[in-house]
Structure 1
Amino acid sequence: MKLGERLKELRENQGLLQRQLSAQLEIDTPMFSKIERGERRAKREQVVLLASILKANENELLTIWLVDQILAVIDKEKVGVQALKFALREIEQQ
């Protein structure tokens, strides 16, 4: 699940409006809307703040955020999967 989808789910479950969250993030509502739609990526600090505001698991949201970041980088790369496998081997050796 992408971060924007999860944020929207959490927000709607709590009956909050986009403008309420965007005000707390100190961004405009259209920008927050783009984050929810996956058209713009949230900053790490925003994800941490959103976890607090939405009373959500910070590690879950940061994990989804990081997956989105990784996918954005390797999206059109032919060797993307190979690169991920290589990175995993490197991480496991640390």
Structure 2
Amino acid sequence: MTLGQRIRQLREESGMKQRELAAKLGIGEGFLSKIENDQKLIKREDLKKLSEFFNVAHSDLETLWLANKIYDLIKDENQGLKALKVAEEQAKYVSR
């Protein structure tokens, strides 16, 4: 699940309309639509607001946010998946 999909899910489960959540975040409804459709990435500082609005773990939203950033970085690279696997191995090595 992407961050945008999770935000939409949380919003819909709470019965909130896009315009309501957009107003709480101080962004436009169109921008929120793009976030929910994974065309734009929400600001990192807004993750705390979302976690409080929907009573979900900030760390879960932040994980999805970081995953989106990583995907955006490698999606158009021919060696993107290979590089991601190498980075994963490096992260395992460093954390030992």
TM-score > 0.5 by shorter chain: yes
Looking at structure 1, the residues matched to 82 and 89 of structure 2 have their Cα atoms a distance apart, in angstroms, of: 11
Aligned to 2:90: 90
Per the TM alignment, residue 19 of structure 1 is displaced from its structure 2 partner at its CA by: 1.2
Structure 1 stretches of at least 4 aligned residues deviating more than 4 Å after TM superposition: none
Aligned to 2:50: 50
Aligned residue pair count? 94
- Specify every segment of 5 or more residues in structure 1 that has no aligned partner in the other structure, as ranges: none
SS of match in other structure, 2:10: helix
- The amino acid across from 2:37 in the alignment is R
Q: Normalising by structure 1, what TM-score? A: 0.90
Task: Give the % identical residues.
Answer: 36
- The amino acid across from 2:23 in the alignment is A
- Specify every segment of 5 or more residues in structure 2 that has no aligned partner in the other structure, as ranges: none
- Alignment deviations for residues 27-49 of structure 1 (CA, whole Å, 9 cap, x no partner): 11111111111111111111221
- Alignment deviations for residues 10-65 of structure 1 (CA, whole Å, 9 cap, x no partner): 11111011111111111111111111111111111112211111111211111111
Equivalence map 1:1-94=2 (5 Å): 1-94=1-94
